[in-house]
């Protein structure tokens, strides 16, 4: 590796706050050396962002830095894990110092918020591709998995759905929104907020949990498959933002809520006897349906009539 | 993420041997859940390979799969860590099943050899970029770091130096070799052998250790800097293969040994009183010089005269 890479890691990525006591050796040797506390399992997730695929060209380097870490933290949130460390693999076409400065500041602002230490990395010359692995702790046998949903459980989501997907369409010029709404939607696309505190709160409450990176239908589908169950959703209950409602039709808002990715909210299931505990969550959640023994996903409208998925052209997700 | 990605991970990367008892949850949830044994530190390293930078175009997918894991295992070896788990981030331009099959078979052949379980991954559409993180265990306070070299320590390397660098030049048509030598050098480039057993053996013996990924001068330089020392090397002692000797001049062999990367051998330092223990290493090693209090790197020839680095045009590495 060229000397430039070494300097670059030193300048933008090594020796940043926070410094954690459980890091024996961070950036600067062949490996990082880390201590997992006794009685905890290590939760890890690796995610990759590619320009033009996971963020539109022209996205600010601060947003890319933020998002690179946020998507992993969202996975930790979905497991009910406490964040601890991250590693970064950065492939960049050229050494662009303002870009690196922006990327680094977006990344470390979020890292500081959740006390995540960057403990290792690799920087190479190549097309812009960013891989980040996050590491967190969860008490033994207490992780929130996808496989625990049971018939009768309520299905909940945090926050609002479809904002990031609509934000992307606005950026691409495929939808138009007023300036305030466009700004809000763009912020939801560029700066997703990992639901760490909510994930921790749900450890005692939820029977299954996932983060919504690929759209509600796809991600809830992973819970249904892993749990061997089905579900009915009430489309009129989908939580959508004012900005989304201002910008698209009702049918389109339902389609976005069901199929648009990148919101990084949590979708989780809760047994009826534990639903009261949801009042103590740090953010409000919305009940959007219930788990059933019958497989597959069904949609009902406000009149409890089947909602015709074909109308929005997304029948193909049901397979 | 499209459904195709899900199927692709399932088909080529999930549920492969080995399955380890310390993996609570592997591929298939938001995070993998892992158990680090009590009394051990977790050693992690992430590396990225880009086509045309870290392997030449036309490299077989089997070799790319092997190398993707081997470079990380080499970092574990350099810390004296026992390999345990890996995660893979794969950016590929298209779903090319024969390529994926080859990549997967090269990767898992090496994973099986060292009982490494692939516990997580992300597959995205983009330029061909492969990131892999490896995870291993090392007893508390027993890792081999770069910072422990002391004046008087001997400097050693495992195996032979410069083969991979010359192999690349042969592939690129910049050097010509007879077929046997070309095959050998190409194999050294494509299928590096991580020195795991040697790294474990060195835990009681070496004062500092690094793997040679960027060339002896650069990597030994990291030890010198981290340890606050300098060194003198005897260039006539550099271990080189018959194939390298057959193909290039003596001066060129020295230049390759000093500056060519990708050999993934170990370079380590040993206090004089422990040098006898090296006879028990699983592979033979070569003493190439010694650590000195005076900073910087000096080279001596067979007559103990200064070897003029300028002659080979690599004076720039000394900075």
Q: Are B17 and B132 found together in one domain?
A: yes
Q: What CATH number does residue A133 fall under?
A: 3.30.1330.10
Domain that holds residue B131: 3-139
> A78 vs B124: CB contact, 8 Å cut-off?
no
Residue A217 in any domain: the answer is yes
pLDDT for the residue numbered B314: 46
Over residues B240-249, the pLDDT tens digits come to 999 999 999 9
- Enter the ipTM: 0.94
Residue B50 counted as domain residue: yes
Domain count, chain B: 2
A198: region left, alpha or beta (phi > 0 left; psi from -120 to 50 alpha): alpha
Separation in Å, CA of B303 to nearest CA in chain A = 32
CA distance A279 to chain B (A): 25
Residues 6+ away with beta carbon under 8 Å from B21: none
Question: Does A134 lie in the same domain as A160?
Answer: no
Closest Cα of chain A to B148: distance in Å?
12
Domain boundary among B92, B109, B139: B139
Coil, strand, or helix at residue A281? coil
Nearest CA in chain B to A145: B29
Nearest to B118 by CA among B41, B17, B49, B43: B17
End-to-end CA distance of chain A: 47
Residue with tokens 């049918």: A251
Whether residue A36 is contained in a domain is answered as: yes
Using an 8 Å CB-CB cutoff, list chain A residues near B225: none
Q: Tokens 């009042």 map to which residue?
A: A279
> Looking at the domain assignment, is residue B129 inside a domain?
yes
Best residue of A2, A6, A29 to probe chain B, by most B CBs closer than 10 Å: A29
Q: Is the dihedral of CA A230, A234, A239, A245 positive or negative?
A: positive
pTM score = 0.94
**What are the 10-residue block averages of pLDDT along chain B, 319 residues in total?**
61 88 94 97 96 90 97 98 97 91 97 97 90 98 97 97 96 95 97 97 96 95 97 98 97 95 96 95 94 96 88 41
Strands B117-125 and B82-92, how do they pair?
parallel
Q: Are residues B246 and B172 in the same domain?
A: yes
Q: Do A146 and B75 touch (CB under 8 A)?
A: no
CA distance A303 to chain B (A): 32
| B131 chain-A contacts, CB cut-off 8 A | 46, 48, 89, 122, 131
**pLDDT digit string (tens) for A139-179?**
999 999 999 999 999 999 999 999 999 999 999 999 999 99
Do residue B111 and residue B196 come from a single domain?
A: no
Which of B131, B202, B213 to mutate to probe the A interface, most A CBs <10 Å? B131
Same domain, B33 and B118: yes
One domain for residues B167 and B135: no
pLDDT at A6: 58
Q: What is the DSSP string of B229-264?
A: -EEEEEGGG----HHHHHHS-HHHHHHHHHH-----
Same domain, A48 and A179: no
Tell me the shortest Cα–Cα distance from A274 to chain B, in angstroms.
23
Q: Are A28 and B213 a contacting pair at CB < 8 A?
A: no
A219-258: buried (b, 16+ CB within 10 Å) or exposed (e) per residue? bbbbbbebbebbbbbbbeebbbbebbeebbeeeebbbbbb
In terms of domains, do B105 and B183 share one? Answer: no
Q: CB of A312 within 8 A of CB of A251?
A: yes
Q: Which residues of chain A have pLDDT under 70?
A: 1-6, 310-319
Shortest CA distance to A138 belongs to which of A64, A55, A36?
A36
Of B31, B89, B90, the CB nearest to A75: B31
Q: Is residue A145 situated within a structural domain?
A: no
Per-residue pLDDT tens for A180-226? 999 999 999 999 999 999 999 999 999 999 999 999 999 999 999 99
- Most B CBs within 10 A among A30, A33, A224, hence the mutation to make, goes to A30
Q: Write the CATH number for B287.
A: 3.90.650.10
| B23, B165: one domain | no
Residues B46, B89: Cα–Cα separation, whole Å:
10
Flag if B89 and A213 touch (Cβ within 8 Å).
no
Closest to B91 (Cβ–Cβ): which among A50, A147, A209? A50
């Amino acid at each position: 590796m060229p000397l430039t890479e070494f300097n670059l890691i030193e300048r933008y990525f090594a020796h940043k706050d926070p410094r954690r006591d459980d890091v024996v050796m961070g950036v600067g040797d062949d490996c990082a050396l880390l201590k997992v506390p006794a009685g905890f399992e290590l939760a890890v997730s690796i995610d990759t962002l590619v320009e033009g695929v996971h963020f539109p060209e022209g996205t600010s380097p601060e947003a890319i830095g933020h998002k690179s870490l946020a998507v992993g933290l969202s996975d930790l949130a979905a497991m009910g894990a406490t964040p601890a460390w991250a590693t970064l693999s950065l492939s960049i076409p050229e050494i662009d110092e303002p870009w690196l400065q922006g990327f680094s500041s977006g990344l470390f602002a979020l890292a500081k918020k959740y006390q995540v230490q960057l403990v290792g990395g690799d920087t190479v010359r190549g097309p812009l591709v960013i891989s980040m692995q996050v590491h967190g702790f969860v008490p033994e046998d207490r992780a929130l998995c996808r496989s625990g949903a049971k018939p009768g459980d309520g299905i909940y989501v945090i926050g609002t759905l479809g904002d990031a997907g609509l934000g992307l369409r606005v950026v691409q010029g495929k939808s138009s929104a007023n300036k305030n709404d466009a700004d809000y939607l763009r912020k939801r696309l560029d700066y997703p907020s990992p639901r760490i505190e909510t994930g921790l709160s749900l450890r005692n409450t939820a029977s299954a949990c996932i983060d919504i990176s690929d759209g509600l239908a796809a991600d809830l589908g992973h819970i249904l498959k892993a749990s061997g169950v089905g579900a009915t959703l009430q489309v009129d209950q989908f939580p959508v933002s004012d900005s989304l409602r201002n910008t698209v039709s009702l049918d389109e808002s339902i389609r976005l809520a069901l199929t648009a990715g990148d919101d990084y909210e949590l979708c989780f299931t809760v047994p009826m006897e534990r639903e009261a505990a949801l009042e103590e969550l740090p953010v409000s959640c919305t009940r959007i349906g219930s788990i059933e023994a019958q497989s597959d996903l069904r949609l009902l409208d406000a009149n409890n009539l089947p909602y015709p998925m074909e109308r929005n052209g997304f029948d193909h997700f049901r397979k």
